[in-house]
Amino acid sequence: MRRIIAEDLDWSLATVSSLSNLCLQCIVNNFEEKPIYEELTSSEKDFIQNRVSLSLPLHFAANVFPDGVYWKRRCEQKWKVCDVSNYGESWKRMFFERQLENIIELFVPGITEPKTVLDMVTLCKDHIKKLNIAQLLPPVKEPQTEDEEQATELTLENEDDKSGMDHFDFRILLDKLTNLEELHLVYKVKSCGMNFEWSMFEMTNRDCESLAKALKSCKTLKLFRLHLSHLEDKKCRLLVKYLLDHPSLRTLDFSHNVIGDSGARAIGKLLTKSKLEILNLYDNNIGGPGAKAIAHALSKNTTLVSLNLCLNRLNDEGGQAICKALLNNKTLLHLQLGANGVTWLTALSLSSVLAQNNTLKSINLSCNTLGEVGGNALEEAMSHNTSVTECNIHLTDIEERKVSVINQMVWNNQFRKQETSPREKNTENAN
């Protein structure tokens, strides 16, 4: 008796499991040969989901089990940290998204068979809504002699056209994912160590073209984010060209790239043609002319809600242009012009906007040398404004006193709004 108990921890004399439990256990044991699931009651389904082996082949399990405990178990088996709230509370979606991300991130062009991705896609195309790809591996380079390297340096332009350095081709993937809404991409290699090469953190021209075509084919995409990928003007123009008539794209994020004026011009064109709501060009290389193009588009646009141009080189030329454009725009809520080298001139024009525009909610002018003049202008403008609830004017050489005054006014706006909003809520509830 003792021996039995020692061998089997679950063994117990007292509890003899009921016949139905034994039957269910039997189903669980032979699930792969004879899957009985749909005809069971919900509690029995739970029982099976809790017991079925996690090593079932994926193509089998994907068709049998709906979202539930089984996928939770698989997720927790595979990853330590699982926050299901990021995946719409669906464990199955989480499992498939992360699985597909893993496959793509470890995809080595030329070595990995595209079939592995396609097989996975056929299983999970209905469940994937968001793809967050944190790295894209380049193909394995054969060791080259110095002469060849010199030769390649000389024919750098040509090399771009070679398929040698291309990353994963998204064309085979995106048109099949019928529910994809968000795509986050980074062309980089994680923990490359001493094998560092600049080309690892860039996308090639071919990559760009294939990606652009793939994006065009994906009609459900709402958010596209391509950051830290050394995106240049040329490639930016190419991408934008294909995104011009995209039916569903609402959010575009090109932060931490090297987009210049011509790229900004293309994006300005995109603003006029598409229905973008959020545009993020944080940390790029956009100068005055590019900002003027964006401002021109902004003056005609009626959809854009948020514009982030922080850490560019707009200078007063671009800043003033954007502020003027805001005189005609009634939709933009969030404007960020931090760290752009603008001066009191822009502050003046912005204060004239603030005095009459009551849609803007948040402004960021940090890290600009606005000076006292700018501070005075802003203070006066804010005294007339009631909509701005956030205003970042740190490190702008404005006097502390004025900063605190301006902040006070912003808070007053915020409190007012806070007080009105619960009432609105109450009325909504009453209705």
Interacting residues toward another protein by CB under 8 A: 228, 255-256, 282-283, 310-311, 338-339, 341, 364, 366-367, 392, 394-395, 411, 414-415, 418
Question: CB of residue 366 vs another protein: minimum separation in angstroms?
Answer: 4
Question: CB of residue 228 vs another protein: minimum separation in angstroms?
Answer: 7
Nearest to 335 by CA among 345, 421, 346: 346
Question: CB of residue 82 vs another protein: minimum separation in angstroms?
Answer: 18
CB atoms within 10 A of CB 301: 23
Nearer residue to another protein within complex by CB, 387 or 392: 392
Q: How far apart are CA 48 and CA 81, in angstroms?
A: 24
Nearer residue to another protein within complex by CB, 165 or 339: 339
Question: CB of residue 348 vs another protein: minimum separation in angstroms?
Answer: 21
Nearer residue to another protein within complex by CB, 328 or 408: 408
Nearer residue to another protein within complex by CB, 60 or 415: 415
Question: CB of residue 374 vs another protein: minimum separation in angstroms?
Answer: 16
Nearer residue to another protein within complex by CB, 207 or 283: 283
Question: CB of residue 385 vs another protein: minimum separation in angstroms?
Answer: 17
Question: CB of residue 377 vs another protein: minimum separation in angstroms?
Answer: 20
Question: CB of residue 75 vs another protein: minimum separation in angstroms?
Answer: 22
Nearer residue to another protein within complex by CB, 329 or 368: 368
Question: CB of residue 196 vs another protein: minimum separation in angstroms?
Answer: 11
Nearer residue to another protein within complex by CB, 146 or 400: 400
Nearest to 260 by CA among 279, 239, 235: 235
- Partnered with residue 142 across adjacent β-strands are none
Question: CB of residue 88 vs another protein: minimum separation in angstroms?
Answer: 17
Q: How far apart are CA 385 and CA 355, in angstroms?
A: 6
Nearer residue to another protein within complex by CB, 44 or 390: 390
Tallying the residues shown for the chain, one arrives at: 431
Q: Which two tokens stand for residue 270?
A: 């995109």
Nearer residue to another protein within complex by CB, 188 or 296: 188
Q: How far apart are CA 49 and CA 37, in angstroms?
A: 9
Nearer residue to another protein within complex by CB, 311 or 409: 311
